[in-house]
Amino acid sequence: MRGRRTRTMLVKGSAALLAVAMMTPAASAQSVEEQLAELRARVTDLEPDATKGFRITPNTRMKIYGYVKADFISDLDFDLGTTIFDIVNVAPGTPEETSFRAQAIQSRIGFWTYTDTGLGELQTRLEGDFFGGGPSGGTFRLRHAYGELGGLLIGKTWTNFMPIESYPDSLDFQGPAGIPFVRPEQVRYTHDFGNGFGGSVSLERDAASSGASDNPAITAAGTYTFGDSFVKLAGLYRTVDSGGQELDGWGVNLSGNTSLWEGGTLQASLTTGEGIGSYMVFGGPDAIGNQTIETSGVTLGLKQNFNDKFAGGLVFGYRDIDQGPALTDTSNITTVHATLYYKPVEKLQLGLEYIYAEKEQFDGQTVDASRVQASAQFNF
């Protein structure tokens, strides 16, 4: 009896609520629709955006990105460490021996934020990996830390002199010789002129400085995008401290990329200058005595996507240092990276790479080394 009375009361109550709803004016019905629309908007804000992540405040979204990467490396001639860079430290006559290493120190994590302001969208970026802490890595280090608003960027990121848009891929974290590679603190302004043209200027911490420097470096770059092609011309001016003297250093980089045919992409970079050794990927001297050292480099990368799962890449790099007076303890570097990529699913890339590096000393002696690297990279 008690359960029957309860059911009867629920039915009568529901009927009363339905009657009240049917008698509610149209204005109230509109208010309900507005509330539903607001609720849907709130739910949408909680869902991830494909490009700008999650909303964390009423005006800000945040995106978390990065990857876990494991490398398995077999050196066929010398133990070159975590990257091919150590070819510069192998002396002629060093006994050859094979070695194997496994590492996951290239793994990285980063954060983007996007905030709506009265002056436009404010973006910030914070990123790091585990390549810090000496030759074997394993210590977290800062890669990028900057904010950008209305074309003005302030913080730590790639130098404006570096052709990051045309930097070829490789499993080896060092990458090819012959290309600028620095991430200094800086103030940069970028402007889009329209019709494919853009330009940027920056004031940067000098690459040879670990934090304090008498003078900053100055860069300027112009870009042009047309169809599937991109071209960038960048210039650098700096002062080099050599034996208490301040010498003028300068550099020019011309780079670009283009689609050659379906699935095929060519990337190229040409660099030359004086007193720019510390800006190059394999390093090098800036000056000896009262004379800056001339350095040049070329990098060519060809990548072919065979289908949505397989791709291949071939990258050549060469760095040339002018011997100059009293410069006998350095060398020219040649690198080749041949890579096969496989993506079984969207967020996973597997790769196998053969790497060749040669060091040519000014006394005519050469050292060359080969390594094979297999990698698995899980993106998020």
pLDDT, greater one: 244 or 186 = 186
What confidence tens digit (pLDDT) does each residue in 73-103 have? 999 999 999 999 999 999 999 999 999 999 9
What pLDDT, in 10s, does the model give residues 269-302? 999 999 999 999 999 989 988 889 999 999 999 9
pLDDT band of residue 126 (cuts 50, 70, 90) is: very high
Q: pLDDT for 147-187, tens place per residue?
A: 999 999 999 999 999 999 999 999 999 999 999 999 999 99
Distance of alpha carbon 169 from alpha carbon 265, whole angstroms: 11
Task: Provide the token pair at 103.
Answer: 């590492």
pLDDT of 379 higher than 50: yes
Tell me the backbone φ, ψ of residue 5, rounded to 5 degrees.
Answer: -65, -40
What percent of the chain is modeled with pLDDT above 90? 77
Model confidence at 324, in pLDDT bands (50, 70, 90)?
Answer: low
Residue boundaries of the structural domains of the chain: 61-379
Contact in structure between 104 and 71 (CB atoms under 8 Å): yes
pLDDT of residue 45: 53
Per-residue pLDDT, 35: 62
Computed on alpha carbons and rounded to an integer, the radius of gyration of the chain in Å comes to 28
pTM of the model: 0.85
Q: Between these two residues, 1 and 268, which has the higher pLDDT value?
A: 268
Is the Cβ–Cβ distance between 380 and 349 less than 8 Å? no
Q: What pLDDT does 39 receive?
A: 56
Count CB-CB contacts under 10 A for residue 15.
10
What is the C-alpha separation between 232 and 255, in angstroms, rounded? 5
Per CATH, the number for 61-379 is: 2.40.160.10
pLDDT bucket at 331, cuts 50 / 70 / 90: confident
User: Which tens digits make up the pLDDT trace of 16-37?
Assistant: 433 434 444 444 445 666 665 6
pLDDT number for residue 37:
63
pLDDT on residue 15: 44
pLDDT band at 213 (very low <50, low <70, confident <90, very high): low
Q: Which amino acid is at 301?
A: G
Of the candidates 312, 236, 302, the one whose C-alpha atom is nearest the C-alpha of residue 274 is 236
- What rounded mean pLDDT belongs to the chain? 89
Q: In terms of Cα–Cα distance, which of 284, 271, 255 is closest to 168?
A: 255
